[in-house]
Structure 1
Amino acid sequence: MLKVAVIGATGAVGQEFVIALNRHKWFELTQVAASERSAGKKYIDAIRDPNSGILRWHNREEVPEYVKNMVVSKVDDIKPENFDLIFTALESDDAKIVEPKFAKTTPVISTAAAFRYEQDVPILIPGINDNHAELLNLQRKNRGWKGFVAPLPNCTTTGMAITLKPILDRFGIEKVFMTSMQALSGAGRSPGVIALDIMDNVIPYIPKEEEKVQVETKKILGAMNNGSIAPAPLKVSCTCTRVPVLDGHTESVFVETEQTADAEEVKKEMLKFSKNVSIKDLPTAPKDYIVVHDDPTRPQPRIDRELNDGMTTVVGRLRKDTAFDNGIKYVLLSHNEKMGSAKGAVLLAELLKDRNIL
């Protein structure tokens, strides 16, 4: 068992880590850290509202027994050399300061954007760009670290990159246009104001989201070239919106392929990719990496987001697009708090352990 710590353990993403690591076959969560407000308290008390006494627990599952009485540490009190791996669930500004300190001695897997765009940092999605993991050893060498920082993609990028990979490999891609309908949980769990903003409403702008998706997709689907990643030469444009859905990002995707591709061929490629995906034997890997529905009313967040515990990307309305000479369009659903966040980070840790990088 590898000893791991979670930084930012009391927030929404940190809570997902606590769930994902419960009774894990390979990783043992031995320490949790959060803000000074929570430090020194038992975990169960740290997630309790100090005024009302109500638990600020955001998961449908109960708080796991193993973590309830674990005492929350200050971030500064964490001794990274005591761990085999550290998961961080921090805001980017904090991640820029904290993660390099930890990475000097210990691998860090991060949900923050702080290091995603640096040349020696891959943005890894297990099963999609596993070969980019070799860049982590170069990062260690470049920075003089024993560890590394391995960030996840933006949660909106994840589902789209997963579905584009089999299309790119078989047919090539010229252009991608995407419109997202993103869940509230992706904006954090702020009470009050966001509820007033979103009810009976669609918010057509999410700061920095579109830029993240456009850059990250090309980096993830790019090729390793002399110790760096050459971004994929496709063009990506998107519009990201917030909708009154609790969990699960829905995306409408239009793809111009290099070679002619009909909907049935694309479906076959997606399902073949799902069946043969490289990470299928890892503990957190879903039984189905991609599911393709023929029912034109699917996917739907309320029905489909928990498939395989939120680790499956669900595709539907796969059909020919008439605006492109070689065009395909579809709708996808990806669970932003499972595959797109903490549980996806645990899956990445499993991949790196399996590859002897951890």
Structure 2
Amino acid sequence: MTVRVGVLGATGAVGQRLIQLLEPHDDFEIAALTASESSAGKTYREAAKWRVDSPIPESIAEQTVTATDPDEVPDDVDLLFSSLPSSVGEAVEPAFCEAGYVVSSNSSNARMAEDVPLIIPEVNADHLDMLEVQREERGWDGALVKNPNCSTITFVPTLAALADAGYELETVHVSTLQAVSGAGYDGVTSMEIIDNAIPHIGGEEDKLETESRKLLGSFDGASFELEGFDVAASCNRIPTLDGHLENVFVGTAEELTPEDAAEAMEAYPSLDLPSSPEPLIHVFEEPERPQPRLDRTLGGGMAVAAGGFKQTELGLQYNCLSHNTIRGAAGASVLNGELLLSEGYL
């Protein structure tokens, strides 16, 4: 079964990554590309300033870009991938769902909404069942699914591995070293970031602290309950192009040794979905790994890397890394689309 899909916000950085991942996908066929009114009516080649590290797929380059409006998307498109700015997504994503489209969204709006599943498929695929409640309460034929923030998605699988191994999480402190691509192409100027580090990313700390607790929380078939551990985050922008590196300190109710943590992460399972890597978490023995330039493309950019495990007075310390525009954005949305397909929501 090949599913006809569309990309909302197709000309942006994440939209381009989505096209790069979707064009060769065996299960998905790109049938709609939307962007702003200024791009509508142009070919994709004309509308997009292509910046991804591979050529524009020829099958996409001459497709016509339309406005981001449900009336402009063909009825036979079953799934939409959204990379819209959150202010735009908040306004138009519900309209697409009301019109009957299923939306797998990378946009930050509505991630913490009570009836919107926030999904990392390897961590909390069961939360997808909230769509039954969402459709009933909102009267939608379509549905809205979110993937988390690019920094949240890096450390949560490692926490899930520890919880799955039976360790009760009590406190989590995370400090991020985030690549400039996370801010978008025009988000950080060269004069700001070269020979520098910026120790603040607006709104980012709150996303890590709240989204992680929703992802690792419980779902009883009707509502979500946030996980009860305490999370504190500090977010920093550094002059790497791709790959978010994070320093994590975890306090657990039970004794947790570096060896136990590494074993739990190595054993944490992947899923039988095309974009889910094997292994999901790549564990390094070397204390200086992972590193963005060396390790961000593990598993085609969909793996999480972890290393530098050691015991401290604050609990277990380790580092983790993922590719922020693949696993942390476009790839996460594609993986959620694969989960929607496998679970019969399309």
Aligned sequence identity (%):
39
> Per-residue deviation at 1:226?
4.9
Distance 1:80 1:212, change over 3 A: farther
2:32 and 2:73 in contact (8 A); partners too: no
Instruction: Report 1:170-185 matches (<5 A).
Output: 170-185=166-181
TM-score by length of 1: 0.93
Corresponding residue for 1:142? 137
Question: CA offsets, 1:93-135, max 9 Å, x none?
Answer: 1111110010011111111111111111111001100111110
For 1:78 and 1:96, how far apart are their aligned partners in 2? 18
For 2:311 and 2:162, how far apart are their aligned partners in 1? 14
In terms of mean alpha carbon deviation, does 78-87 or 193-202 score higher?
78-87
Instruction: Report 1:1-12 matches (<5 A).
Output: 1-12=2-13
Query: Secondary structure of the residue that 2:34 maps to in structure 1?
Result: strand
Corresponding residue for 2:204? 209
Corresponding residue for 2:108? 113
Instruction: Report 1:333-344 matches (<5 A).
Output: 333-344=321-332
In terms of mean alpha carbon deviation, does 214-223 or 314-323 score higher?
314-323
In terms of mean alpha carbon deviation, does 102-111 or 70-79 score higher?
70-79
1:285 and 1:311 in contact (8 A); partners too: yes
2:32 and 2:74 in contact (8 A); partners too: no
> Per-residue deviation at 1:63?
1.2
> Per-residue deviation at 1:80?
6.0
Unaligned runs of 5+ in 1: 48-55
For 2:27 and 2:201, how far apart are their aligned partners in 1? 37
For 1:33 and 1:354, how far apart are their aligned partners in 2? 26
Corresponding residue for 1:53? none
Structure 1 counterpart of 2:37, one-letter code: E
> Per-residue deviation at 1:89?
0.8
Structure 1 counterpart of 2:229, one-letter code: L
1:175 and 1:257 in contact (8 A); partners too: yes
Query: Secondary structure of the residue that 2:54 maps to in structure 1?
Result: coil
Corresponding residue for 1:65? 58
Residue 342 (structure 2) pairs with residue 357 (structure 1): no
Pick the aligned partner of 1:221 from 213, 216, 221: 216
In terms of mean alpha carbon deviation, does 78-87 or 304-313 score higher?
78-87
Corresponding residue for 1:50? none
Structure 2 counterpart of 1:289, one-letter code: L
Residue 186 (structure 2) pairs with residue 190 (structure 1): yes
Pick the aligned partner of 1:91 from 85, 88, 96: 85
Structure 1 vs Structure 2 CA RMSD: 1.2
The alignment of Structure 1 onto Structure 2 pairs a total of residues equal to: 342
Query: Secondary structure of the residue that 2:189 maps to in structure 1?
Result: helix
For 2:162 and 2:38, how far apart are their aligned partners in 1? 48
For 2:34 and 2:80, how far apart are their aligned partners in 1? 11
2:306 and 2:318 in contact (8 A); partners too: yes
Unaligned runs of 5+ in 2: none
TM-score by length of 2: 0.96
> Per-residue deviation at 1:287?
2.2
Large movers: runs of 4+ above 4 Å: none
For 1:248 and 1:257, how far apart are their aligned partners in 2? 27
2:82 and 2:106 in contact (8 A); partners too: yes
Structure 1 counterpart of 2:326, one-letter code: K
Corresponding residue for 1:256? 251
